[in-house]
Amino acid sequence: MVNDLTFTLVWGLFGWYGAGVVLPLGCRADSRRQNLLAHGCAAFGGMVGIVLGVVGLLASEPWAARSPSTIPLLTFAIRLDPLAAFFVLTISLAGLAASIYAIGYVRHFDGRASIPLLGSLFNGFLCSMTLVILADNGFFFLIVWELMSLLSYFLVVTEHEQAEVRYAGLFYLIMTHVGTAFIIVAFLIFFQGVGSFSFDTFRHPEQPLPEGMKTIAFLTALIGFGTKAGIVPLHVWLPYAHPAAPSHVSALMSGVMIKTAIYGLVRVYFDFLGGQFPWWWGFVVLLVGAVSALLGVMYALMEHDLKSLLAYHSVENIGIILLGIGAGMIFQSFGLKEFAALGLLAGLYHTINHAMFKALLFLGAGSLLYATHTRNMEEYGGLLRRMPWTGLFFLIGAASISALPPTNGFVSEWLVFQSLFLSFQIPDLLMKLMLPIAGAMLALTGVLALACFAKAFGIAFLALPRSSHARHAEEVPMPMRLGMGLLASVCLLLGLLPMVVVPLLDRVVGPFAQISIADQVVALDGWALAPVDVQFASISPPILAAMLIVGALLGLCLAVAFGGHLVKRYGKTWGCGINLSPRTEYTATGFVQPIKQVFSTIYRPTVKLETEFLEESRYFAKRRRFEFHIEPVFQKYLYDPVVMFFSTTADRLRVIQAGSLHLYLAYIFVTLIVLLLFAV
């Protein structure tokens, strides 16, 4: 019965996405109907995917389907196990919200881009991500992985008439193919060991791979999937590609596409390799996560382009996810199965949480772009009065990414912290020290994230409008508000109901860690969470939320009770004799100035101040111009030399392309002779 239901849901899911790909292109109606058709199909596909994900998580055994092909080594195989079901659920939740949002948002592109083509690519992108998760054959996985990358590239370059968009698309395309090359190497290593691309053979317990080849597979998988995830220093494409894409596409790319890389890492390390690895593998993942989290948020703080700021925060949150996974790998290597399960569970919990609040924030950024026609926060201000619903939803997303209770980001980051602090159980002294140090870096990351979103929300929504765009902004259409509202609700539910989420995640983690910890993590009859041992630490998100609500209501009641007897007097805020205006407000640049000074060694800022004085006197300035730039360290010292090397090499090799047919025939003849010599 369950298999029949799963079969129906799987093909229903692909049926809706397939209809969303084909029907808008074949429909000759106006762009409004094409928009409704494309994104309506995507929304229905998302709803089916949510049901499929829940069914897969609750199923007693995995569901699989296979179809052979005439292409050697290729089998069209899909498999729905708890890990795949969890990621299908995550993709479908974000996809449903983005689809509803897009019905209103793509009007922004009417006359500037093909609405049916945009909708068709959007459905194909959702379908390809789902296929990546369900693929059960290495060859088939690589095909749909490449399809996902190409479709996302075409979506990124939607506004290809702009030079910066074309550059962002090319940069993304190159980086994603570099990552794919490393994934191919990892899969070829498994293929060499078992003689098949079937994932069933990859995960066989008697896999004959030697330790050296396993290490190479570990490193190539980390680089390959890490490029897509955006780990430091492979993150450089995110601040280019995510801002260039339409905002509902950015929400999916940042919210769920980069999570397919997290899926790939968990699948390779805990499934294909059976969770058997030396401690230093986990330490490498932990180190990469800590550095990515800290540097991601530090560079986000310096951004004034709202979508670029959010892109850097994706680097930060991928780092937080890897902190949980890395801690789980370290515990696993020392045989501490309970703590290994907790670390992996915390990482996966933050995976779905980040998907929800990051998609919400990108949709919020898209709403601001829709209303003001700019991504520059310095031109915002006072938007909360003009866009109250957008402001509310953005505030929920900002609180979530800042890990403030009672939102979902608080719960998963708390679990990551607890898994790191349990390092005293490890017999190795180095790891006892390293995990708390990673926890300290995570704490610093959390503080900087809070400062960053205090800047983002305060500069955008509070004070006075700084431009005519902000002064004339209006609330976005209803579909856009519904999409944001759905994600905001999920953020709150995931934060308030961890006792429901943890048992579901335990079904994902349990087979890999070979232990179930749901009964130990969910304590006090479901009202509290504990990191395996309730005596170590515990917290109750519902009770904490109730206390916050009661405290707020009590303050409101006291204000009403006593405030009514006070005489109110209104007057202008004192500003040293100067009338307050947008010119006297805090700017995004000024807000982060102290942080920039503290971390100037890392930022290496370039400051430029130009002053134009009055002709009558050099004591009175007519105009001042201030600029500062952060040195792109990774691009300047890592990527630019590589590009220069290949460019120089290509120039030197150009001499072999002389335009002579005889010379080209000679090249072919020499090549054949060399091949024959090797054959002999």
For 588-611, the DSSP string reads HHHHTHHHHHHTHHHH-EEEEEEE
Instruction: Using the structure block, give the residue that is written with the tokens 């790319």.
Output: 253
Considering the domain boundaries, does residue 647 fall inside one? yes
Residue type (1 letter), 467? S
Confidence (pLDDT) at 527 = 83
Q: What is the dihedral of CA 270, 274, 277, 279, to 10 degrees?
A: 50
Residues 485 and 327: their CA atoms lie apart, in Å, by 34
What are the 10-residue block averages of pLDDT along the chain, 680 residues in total?
A: 83 95 84 91 96 94 89 88 96 97 91 90 96 95 96 94 92 94 95 88 79 92 95 93 94 95 96 89 96 94 92 95 96 92 95 96 96 92 93 96 92 94 88 92 94 93 89 93 97 93 94 90 82 75 90 86 71 71 79 83 76 70 70 83 86 78 86 84
Confidence (pLDDT) at 99 = 97
Q: 3-state SS string over 22-46?
A: HHHHHCCCCHHHHHHHHHHHHHHHH
Strands (E), 593-674: 605-613, 621-630
Neighbours of 610 (CB within 10 A): 9
Considering the domain boundaries, does residue 71 fall inside one? no
627/642 same-domain check: no
Confidence (pLDDT) at 651 = 84
Provide the residue range defining the domain that includes 641: 636-679
Residues 70 and 73: their CA atoms lie apart, in Å, by 9
**Token pair for residue 303?**
């951004």
Instruction: Using the structure block, give the residue that is written with the tokens 């490393």.
Output: 182
Confidence (pLDDT) at 601 = 81
Confidence (pLDDT) at 564 = 63
**Token pair for residue 138?**
């290495």
Considering the domain boundaries, does residue 344 fall inside one? no
Residues 463 and 386: their CA atoms lie apart, in Å, by 12
| Helix (DSSP H) and strand (DSSP E) numbers for the chain | 29, 6
Residues 379 and 634: their CA atoms lie apart, in Å, by 29
Considering the domain boundaries, does residue 302 fall inside one? no
**pLDDT digits 0-9 by tens, 307-366:** 999 999 999 999 999 999 999 999 999 989 999 999 999 999 999 999 999 999 999 999
The dihedrals phi and psi of 523, each to the nearest 5 degrees, come to -115, 175
Confidence (pLDDT) at 555 = 87
Confidence (pLDDT) at 464 = 87
641/662 same-domain check: yes
Which H or E element spans position 431?
Answer: helix 429-461
621/642 same-domain check: no
Closest Cα to residue 121, out of 147, 103, 89, 83? 147
Confidence (pLDDT) at 455 = 93
What spatial distance separates the first Cα and last Cα of the chain, rounded to whole Å?
60
641/675 same-domain check: yes
620/650 same-domain check: no
Report angle CA 9, 12, 18 to the nearest 5 degrees: 145
675/640 same-domain check: yes
Confidence (pLDDT) at 500 = 92
618/644 same-domain check: no
Q: What is the DSSP letter of 336?
A: -
Neighbours of 574 (CB within 10 A): 8
**Token pair for residue 321?**
């996810």
Domain count, the chain: 2
Q: Is 381 exposed, middle or buried (0-12, 13-18, 19+ CB in 10 A)?
A: buried
Q: What is the DSSP letter of 270?
A: I
Q: Is 166 exposed, middle or buried (0-12, 13-18, 19+ CB in 10 A)?
A: middle
* Cβ proximity of 39 and 102 under 8 Å: yes
Instruction: Give strand pairing partners of 613.
Output: 621
pTM given for the model: 0.93
607/621 same-domain check: yes
Which H or E element spans position 161?
Answer: none
Instruction: Give strand pairing partners of 76.
Output: 67
* Cβ proximity of 288 and 319 under 8 Å: yes
Instruction: Using the structure block, give the residue that is written with the tokens 């290490």.
Output: 215
Residues 501 and 452: their CA atoms lie apart, in Å, by 28
Buried/exposed 525-548: b ≥16 CB within 10 Å, e otherwise: eeebbbbbbeeeebbbbbebbeee
Confidence (pLDDT) at 75 = 86
Considering the domain boundaries, does residue 612 fall inside one? yes
Cβ neighbors of 640 (< 8 A, separation 6 or more) are: none
Confidence (pLDDT) at 566 = 65
Considering the domain boundaries, does residue 294 fall inside one? no
Considering the domain boundaries, does residue 488 fall inside one? no
User: What is the chain's Cα-based Rg?
Assistant: 27
Considering the domain boundaries, does residue 208 fall inside one? no
* Cβ proximity of 435 and 423 under 8 Å: yes
Residues 327 and 424: their CA atoms lie apart, in Å, by 12
Confidence (pLDDT) at 656 = 79
Query: In whole angstroms, what separates CA 635 from the centre of its chain?
Result: 21
Neighbours of 240 (CB within 10 A): 21
